[in-house]
Amino acid sequence: MVPGQYYLVLSAAVFCIGIFGLLTRKNALLFLMSVELMLNAANINLVAFSYYWGNVTGQTFGLFTMALAAAEVAVGIGIILVLYRNFDGVDVTKATTMRW
Amino acid sequence: MAGILEFAPAIVLLPFLSFLIALGAGRYMPKGGALAGIGATAGSFVLAVATFFAVSGGQTYNQTIYTWAEGLDAVNLTFGLLIDPLSAMMLVIVTLIAFLVHVFSLGYMNDEGETGLPRYYAALGLFSASMLGFVVSDNLLMAFMFFELVGLCSYLLIGFWFRQDGPPSAAKKAFLVTRFGDYFFLIGVVAVFATFGSAAFAGPDAFPVLAEEALHGEHSVNTFLGMGEEAWFTVVGLLVLGGVVGKSAQFPLHTWLPDAMEGPTPVSALIHAATMVAAGVYLVARMYGFYALTPTTLAIIALIGGFTALFAATMGVVKKEIKQVLAYSTISQYGYMMLGLGAGGYVAATFHLMTHAFFKALLFLGAGSVIIAMHHNENMWDMGGLKDKMPVTYYAFLSGSLALAGIVPFAGFWSKDEVLYETLIHGLGGSPILLAAYAMGLLAVFFTGFYTFRMVFLTFHGEPRTETARNPHGVRWNVKAPLAVLGVLAATAGFVNMVPVEKLLGIKGIDFLHQFLDGSFSSLNAHHYAEILPYSSSYIGGEATTVAIGAGVSLGLALAGAALAYVLYNVPEPVEHTEKLGSIKTVLYNNYYQDEYQVWIATSVVQPISRVLDKFDQGIVDGVVNGISSVSLFAGSRMKRIQTGVVSNYAALLTLGLTALLLGLGLIGGWFA
């Protein structure tokens, strides 16, 4: 069987890829995808620990998180749509009206 | 009659109700709300009389009505009612005079076509209600609250004609001067709570009783500033006395009262006879069990009283306006009451409070009647010869004047004589201070007789000196009826307590007031006060001889004063004789420069101190507050620059923050060790 650390390393790797995407991209859609990656990194952790301790509660939480993520994507895409309409594009660095 | 005392709260609430009615619906009612006030005060009067008879029958009432703050350390702040002979007597006086003043106002305000009547009657109702609430208070804090309400109402009423220049200024002065005394009173109330843990006047934990026990070492109380019990009680007594001196217009806080004459005359009658000014003296009588324990306080009260009696009487001698003369006579007469209280004459002072209420209300209402007749000209030098034109007013006014001057057998004679008699015997018993106060009081009798009859002769006798005086405006029943009632009372009220007659002729049992005030609570009756007083009595010859000498001397002086006034002013064409006074005349006209020196204190002493304090407040206190605010503003103006609006920057900051947090936790947790 696969040792527990491997899952954690995988989770950390996925999380870092998400952060990297968040920090380097300008496209709002890519932003959303990066956030999804980070969310799934957390999900992997939940499932891995659940498996490790032999307790299904964590896996149930994983299912809930997926459902929430789906809902969140709907909201996120809605926001991107509005962004597109108001700023003629999906470049997040262009939408800077909420500043001091 | 059983249970009539259960209705005692209604005595206070009825005038309060009339206040609400006049305020809310006065403008829709005939007579501008007067009828509500008349009805309410009449109802209160009937209840007060019933209460009086119940109390005469030996009933008393001491009940807490409402606890509005539960104390953690057993100090409860409450409203309650205390009905004992003193408060029952005062209730009758206040309700009777309030009722008569309401009726008189019909003639003085309504018939003269004044505007703002609902406001007037509302304030009058609240005034009566506050005074009645003060009278029945069962603890010092409640008394203080109603004391302040009385002050507020006097402010409203003195400044009733607020469109003119004088009244608002006089109202402010009255409010501020009495408030100055009330500051001390407030501190005194707190001191009483801190010392005794209770401010009740009667009952098991009454503070006068606790104080008495403390002096006998049976009970321990908290004293402050490292003082012994008696010294501390003196301090507390003097603090409360501050409020008394302000309200009862005693020297040096008397200056507001002559100015208060700017108010409508019926209000002056109410203020001087029954409500505001009486409150101070009543308070001393109310907590007499406390004052009687400290000889120093008593001596100070007696001295203030005696001095004020003389001081005010001399100023009354030169005044030109009828109400001004009455104002100074009020100050002087309250001085007698203070003298009586300070000299251990509890019953005598209470008696004078009662008779004075009747004859002073009468004199003010009489003056009001004269003022109506003279088309609101108050200068006595423009009057003269009104005797034949307005006989009812004349005879009533004469009755009041004879009482004020202390001519036998009118009411004022009996009470003033008893005050002076008590002072004399206690002074002879080894208190030279009382003898000094007695001398001043005695001298004031002469001046009183003089200015009273100067006023009577100038107003009513001789030839009319102006056209208005030749054809005075008539007055109606609503002016004459109160005058008649009070005229009879001023002539006869003294018979309830004919101590000199009792002592001289040996007829027992005609000192009804003494017997009345001896009833009720053992810690609140005259007998108890006589026991705890620090005075002993001594007589010239025998008791009867002393009575005869005292009464003879004061009556002789009063008659001498009246006779001098008769010689000088009871001529067809009187002239001013003030020139004969020389330089004293200027001093008297300027009221001994009392106003000037108080203004001087305010501008030359208080103002510089205030300026220094203002500097401290503006510079240091405000400086700290402003400094903190400018630091925050500066930091904010720098910090806000990270709000760029670019989402990526926020994400970067978040990531950096997370990394820093992880690193920090790692360092603390020793991961890198």
Answer yes or no: do B640 and A23 touch at CB < 8 A: no
Task: Give the span between the Cα atoms of A30 and A26, in whole angstroms.
Answer: 8
Q: Which residue has the higher pLDDT, B538 or A92?
A: A92
Q: Which residue among A93, A98, A100 sits closest to B648, beta carbon to beta carbon?
A: A93
Pick from B441, B440, B437, B442: nearest CA to B426? B437
Radius of gyration of chain A measured on its C-alpha atoms = 17
Contact assignment for B643 to A93 by CB distance below 8 Å: no
Best to test chain B binding among A20, A23, A86 (most B CBs inside 10 Å): A23
Q: CB distance A96–B644 less than 8 Å?
A: yes
pLDDT at B1: 40
The nearest alpha carbon in chain A to B640 belongs to A100
Contact A19 B655 (CB under 8 A): yes
In chain B, residues with a C-beta closer than 8 Å to the C-beta of A86 are none
The total of structural domains in chain A comes to: 1
Tokens of B307: 């001095």
Tell me: the pLDDT tens digits for B293-306?
888 888 899 989 99
In this complex, is the C-beta atom of B225 within 8 Å of any C-beta atom belonging to chain A?
Answer: no
Task: Please give the angle made by the CA atoms of B323, B327 and B328, to the nearest 5 degrees.
Answer: 125
- Disruptive mutation site among A19, A25, A97 for chain B (greatest number of B CBs within 10 Å): A19
Residues in chain B within 8 Å Cβ distance of A93? 646-648
List, in order, residues 6 or more apart from B247 with CB less than 8 Å away: B147, B150, B151, B178, B181, B182, B276, B277, B279, B280, B283
Interface check for B659 against chain A (CB to CB < 8 A): the answer is no
Interacting residues of A97 by C-beta distance below 8 A, sequence separation 6+: B645
d(CA B556, CA B353): 23
Kind and range of the H or E element at B352?
helix B346-373
Cα gap A30→B434, rounded to integer Å: 103
For B37-68, b/e burial (b = at least 16 CB within 10 A) is bbbbbbbbbebbebbbebbeeebbbbeeeeee
What's the CA gap between B16 and B100, in Å, rounded?
17
Q: Which residue has the tokens 């009970």?
A: B219
Q: Which of B637, B646, B650 to mutate to test the interface with A (most CBs of A within 10 A)?
A: B646
Amino acid present at B484: A
B655 touches chain A (CB under 8 A): yes
The verdict on a CB contact (< 8 Å) between A22 and B651 is yes
Q: Quick count: other Cβ atoms within 10 Å of Cβ B544?
A: 14
Q: Give the global pTM.
A: 0.79
pLDDT value, residue B74: 64
Q: What is chain A's percent helix, strand, coil content, to nearest 5?
A: 80, 0, 20
Cα separation, B321 vs B355, whole angstroms: 24
Contact B647 A95 (CB under 8 A): yes
Residues in chain B with pLDDT values less than 70: 1-2, 71-74, 509, 520, 578-579, 673
Q: Which residues of A touch B659 (CB under 8 A)?
A: none
Residues of A in contact with B648 (CB under 8 A): 22-23, 26, 92-93
B644 Cβ under 8 Å from any chain A Cβ: yes
CA distance A15 to chain B (A): 12
pLDDT value for B73:
65
Q: Do A100 and B640 touch (CB under 8 A)?
A: yes
Which residues form the domain of A76? 4-98
Helix H, strand E, coil C: the string for B577-616 is CHHHHCHHHHHHHCHHHHHHHHHHHHHHHHHHHHHHHHHH
- pLDDT tens digits along A71-82: 999 999 999 999
For residue B252, whether the previous peptide bond is cis, meaning omega lies within 30 degrees of 0, is yes
Instruction: Specify the CATH number for the domain of residue A41.
Output: 1.10.287.3510
Query: For helices B477-492 and B85-105, what crossing angle results, to 10°?
Result: 150
SS3 for A21?
A: helix
Write out B42-104 in H/E/C secondary structure.
Answer: HHHHHHHHHHHHHHHCCCCEEEEEEEEECCCCCCCEEEEEEECHHHHHHHHHHHHHHHHHHHH
Partner-chain contact A100 B651, CB within 8 Å: no
Average pLDDT of the segment spanning A29-39: 92
Per this entry, what is the length of chain B?
673
Q: Do A100 and B655 touch (CB under 8 A)?
A: no
The DSSP bridge partners found for residue B511 are B497
Chain A residues in contact with B640 (beta carbon < 8 A)? 100
B633 touches chain A (CB under 8 A): no
